[in-house]
Amino acid sequence: MSITLKNVSLTWQDGTAQAINALLNVSLHIEDGEFVGIMGQTGCGKSSLIQAIAGLLPISEGQILIQGDDIHSKSYDKNLLRQTIGIIFQYPETQLFETTVEKDVAFGLKYSGLSKAEVTQRVRQVLTFMGFIYEDIKRESPLALSGGEKRRIAIAGVLACKPRILILDEPIAGLDPRGRESFLKLLHKLNKEGITIIMVSHNADALSEYAHRILVMENGRILLDDTPNRIFHDIPFMEQHHLDTSNPCRITWLLRQQGIHLSKEAVRYDSFLHSLVSHCTAIGNEDPIENRKAVTADEIPPDR
């Protein structure tokens, strides 16, 4: 389902001396099936934006349209919004509370009107989709699982309601590398199934690997809306706004300072390695490091 924001503003304590513009005249369109990443410093408006899209925060001005329908219109069915959008906050495992995995995943279907057999079937389907064996996991306590497993259970509970849009706020924070990669591959799988993904993250490597577009926010505005290639290869821009870039882009930038020019399409690890191999093959026996231009310490971006 497509999402359109038209001149959306959100002001805390509007009309008072303490008024704060969380969002300021934001316009945005997200196509059905896109994977959009959102970056920005703390307090830039990322969380306000995704909560406004999910209908969790009232906006001061503008319109938010889901598939062309204004979600703040008096005639709009709020139940439809809850069925359309699933939102997962940071550390979703802290929201698990039922005694068994099966009960936790089924909780959102309590008032769905589905029969007990239909609820069981849907819970079985989403747990299987998330990589679990239903009969092995259904009676386990969700609180006894690993961090990565808890996060997958939390997502299963959202997916059981069959949303067409999935919004995530820093979903990979705190996961170890293996758990992080497993979780990102799951999101990629969901996206390939047709679910629109909107993900807030500071992890540039994760966004460069999986997102189609990146939104960079600052002071309640969308400062930049572009592809990962164009955003992450602009090292001066990212440094100026105190944001990280993907490791392939950083390495490519460092090599360029030494006279080794790899493709600026190399934003993901596989494309970076392909570009590096192609470069080495093209120069044959020539040493790609020989006669390189010296790079000073001031030219090397800090590793944040």
Runs of H (alpha helix) within the chain: 46-53, 78-84, 101-106, 116-129, 134-137, 147-159, 177-192, 204-210, 228-232, 235-240, 247-257, 269-283
Task: Report yes or no on 293 lying in a domain.
Answer: no
In a shared domain, residues 82 and 17:
yes
In a shared domain, residues 125 and 269:
no
User: What proportion of the chain, given as a percentage, has pLDDT over 70?
Assistant: 91
pLDDT digits over 37-47, tens only?
999 999 999 99
Domain with residue 25: its CATH number is: 3.40.50.300
Model confidence band, residue 115 (pLDDT cutoffs 50, 70, 90)? very high
Q: Which sign, positive or negative, has the C-alpha torsion 69, 73, 76, 79? A: positive
In a shared domain, residues 174 and 277:
no
Calculated CA dihedral for residues 128, 134, 136, 138, nearest 10 degrees: 120
Residue 8 has pLDDT above 90, yes or no: yes
Give the range with max mean pLDDT: 15-24, 77-86, 98-107: 98-107
In a shared domain, residues 186 and 91:
yes
Task: Report yes or no on 157 lying in a domain.
Answer: yes
* 276: containing domain: 253-287
Task: Report yes or no on 148 lying in a domain.
Answer: yes
Residue 153 has pLDDT above 80, yes or no: yes
- Angle (CA) 235-35-89 rounded to 5° is 95
- Angle (CA) 178-48-24 rounded to 5° is 130
In a shared domain, residues 229 and 269:
no
Task: Report yes or no on 245 lying in a domain.
Answer: no
- State residue 300's pLDDT score: 47
In a shared domain, residues 177 and 268:
no
Q: What is the mean pLDDT of residues 106-133?
A: 91
Task: Report yes or no on 298 lying in a domain.
Answer: no
In a shared domain, residues 132 and 260:
no
Domain count within the chain: 2
In a shared domain, residues 119 and 213:
yes
Task: Report yes or no on 225 lying in a domain.
Answer: yes
Task: Report yes or no on 302 lying in a domain.
Answer: no
In a shared domain, residues 224 and 267:
no
In a shared domain, residues 31 and 157:
yes
3-state secondary structure of 43: coil
Task: Report yes or no on 218 lying in a domain.
Answer: yes
Model confidence band, residue 84 (pLDDT cutoffs 50, 70, 90)? very high
- State residue 210's pLDDT score: 93
In a shared domain, residues 129 and 91:
yes
pLDDT digits over 241-298, tens only?
889 888 888 888 888 887 887 776 667 777 777 777 777 777 765 554 454 454 444 5
In a shared domain, residues 49 and 189:
yes
